[in-house]
Amino acid sequence: MPEGQLAAILGPKGWIRTDDSAPWSRDWLERHGEPPLGVACPTSTDDVAQVMAACFRAQVPVVPQGGNTGLCGASVAGKAGAVILNLSRMAGIGVPDLAGGSVMVEAGLVLARLHDALEGTGQMFPLHLGAEGSAQIGGLIGTNAGGSQAFRYGMMAELVLGLEVVLPDGTIWNGLRGVQKDNAGYQLRKLFCGAEGTLGVVTRAVLRLHPAPRQRVTALLALPSFDAAVTFGTAARAEAGEFLQAMEFFSDPGVDLALRHVTGLVWPLESRAPVYLLVELGAGSDCVPLDAILAALLEQGMERGLVLDGTLAASGAQRAALWRLREDQPEGQRLEGPQLKHDISVPPARIAEFVARGAELCEAAVPGVRINPFGHLGDGNIHYNLTPPPGQAGFGGQDGDLALALAALASEMGGSFAAEHGLGRSKIALADALRPAAERGLHRRIKAAFDPAGLMNPGVILAEVDKYNLPIA
């Protein structure tokens, strides 16, 4: 391998040898990652193209990496000896096009930095998630990230207008168009959204902006059941429609985990309930009576017995404190110990049914298992995460069976077993078991068309079999 070549292309700060690369080698959940040959840290698209061409000539696998917050093991090497291509040093932001509602950014830009940069422009980038302080635009595109506002503004694929991508042999594709309407052939940019670094390296993107809300109201509500949450969600869509920005649900076991392990959290309600909803409304105009809309919604909810209690954020600090109760749940559960994460989606009307049927499955397999379902009510995305029963170190060897049973249930209910985190390395077996043969065949053909040598993040999305070259079944 031309390590010397990579060092020459990237300079001393741009090529980090294996022995120095530990922080980049393992994934966020500490489940995946073999020692890489080294970490390449380019500063320009040309650097990336040269690195890709050198690796292509030497037939060395490449793993694109952003903030390394992905939850399926796709941002680290599956086998020893790959080059990790970390985009952190490509973090530039262009001048926003306020008339067209877009901005060009480099792939290594951290999402929170983009939010900060747009403050005061009257526009915003409407993607929010718990890892936004580390996750980068390239990684968000790679996973087609969703988050709390996806039901209103779409997932990453709907927020990308144009892309620049370096292909596996080092060819640069410049598709940096800044328009919403572009039907000049196949929707290539969308193919890279959710490709998890298996088709090419995203180097720049033109992102779609939306008007920033001038006012916002946020409430934390306590509810008697998931059924009540679904019914309330339907009423909220009818009453608050275009102003709804978030409807995040979580349950009491999740609150326990967060309060036990994460410092600085304060419980704001007088009592506890089975289910909670964080509801947020926003409007781009000061003339919209958001307070009155939310008040009417809550009154209606209480009259119908759907809402038991609630509190409104009276300041930005209170809003942030309410959001932390939701967003610190993954951290609370991680600190509790071993866990199984399931990133499910079902049609929103069937959330309560999934939670109940899932609980039956889990309880039968591991009596006393602690279930922490939380997620995004508006798009039916349930993070159905499990912690072993108190005093137990694991799930009695049922991990794989539980994942398959829950995934099969989601599929049977018209949903997905990989809603917003992707397949990565950890869900390929599920995909092989549950995806129709024709769909598997199409995936292999796409992979073979872009990356016939199988050098781009091998072992992610598809298992490494006969160079992905199987016929469509």
Ligand X SMILES: Cc1cc2nc3c(=O)[nH]c(=O)nc-3n(C[C@H](O)[C@H](O)[C@H](O)COP(=O)(O)OP(=O)(O)OC[C@H]3O[C@@H](n4cnc5c(N)ncnc54)[C@H](O)[C@@H]3O)c2cc1C
**Cβ atoms within 10 Å of 329's Cβ, excluding its own:** 26
Nearer to ligand X (CB atom), residue 244 or residue 418: 418
Nearer to ligand X (CB atom), residue 188 or residue 269: 188
Residue 262 main-chain phi, psi, to 5 deg: -105, 125
Nearer to ligand X (CB atom), residue 301 or residue 332: 332
Nearer to ligand X (CB atom), residue 68 or residue 231: 68
Q: Which residues bind ligand X (CB under 6 A)?
A: 28, 63-71, 74-75, 87, 107, 129-131, 134-136, 138-140, 142-143, 145-147, 196-197, 201-202, 330, 420-421, 457, 460
Q: What is the CA radius of gyration of the chain?
A: 23
Q: Which residues of 422-437 are buried (b: 16+ CB within 10 A; e: fewer)?
A: bbbbbbbebbeebbee
Q: How far apart are CA 114 and CA 89, in angstroms?
A: 15
Nearer to ligand X (CB atom), residue 23 or residue 305: 23
CB of 29 to ligand X, least distance (A): 8
CB of 31 to ligand X, least distance (A): 13
Q: How far apart are CA 175 and CA 188, in angstroms?
A: 9
Please state the length of the chain.
Answer: 473
CB of 336 to ligand X, least distance (A): 14
CB of 332 to ligand X, least distance (A): 11
Q: How far apart are CA 70 and CA 421, in angstroms?
A: 7
* Amino acid found at 258: A
Nearer to ligand X (CB atom), residue 142 or residue 310: 142
CB of 309 to ligand X, least distance (A): 26
Nearer to ligand X (CB atom), residue 190 or residue 214: 190
CB of 74 to ligand X, least distance (A): 3
CB of 354 to ligand X, least distance (A): 18
The residue at minimum Cβ distance from ligand X is 139
Q: How far apart are CA 341 and CA 432, in angstroms?
A: 19
CB of 286 to ligand X, least distance (A): 30
CB of 130 to ligand X, least distance (A): 3
Long-range residue pairs from 461-470, CB within 8 A, at least 24 positions apart, any chain: 461/74, 461/195, 461/196, 461/198, 461/422, 461/423, 461/424, 461/428, 461/431, 462/198, 462/428, 463/428, 463/432, 468/444, 469/444, 470/440, 470/441, 470/444
3-state secondary structure of 213: coil
For the chain, the distance separating the N- and C-terminal CA atoms, rounded to the nearest angstrom, is 37
CB of 456 to ligand X, least distance (A): 9
- Antiparallel, parallel or unpaired: β 83-86 and 38-40: parallel
Structural contact between residues 197 and 63, judged by C-beta atoms closer than 8 angstroms: yes
Q: How far apart are CA 471 and CA 473, in angstroms?
A: 6
Nearer to ligand X (CB atom), residue 144 or residue 231: 144
DSSP 426: T
Residue 58 is inside which H or E element, if any? helix 45-58
Helix axes 351-365, 399-412, angle to 10 degrees: 150
Nearer to ligand X (CB atom), residue 30 or residue 286: 30
CB of 54 to ligand X, least distance (A): 18
Nearer to ligand X (CB atom), residue 135 or residue 220: 135
Nearer to ligand X (CB atom), residue 295 or residue 429: 429
Extract the tokens encoding 163.
């892309």
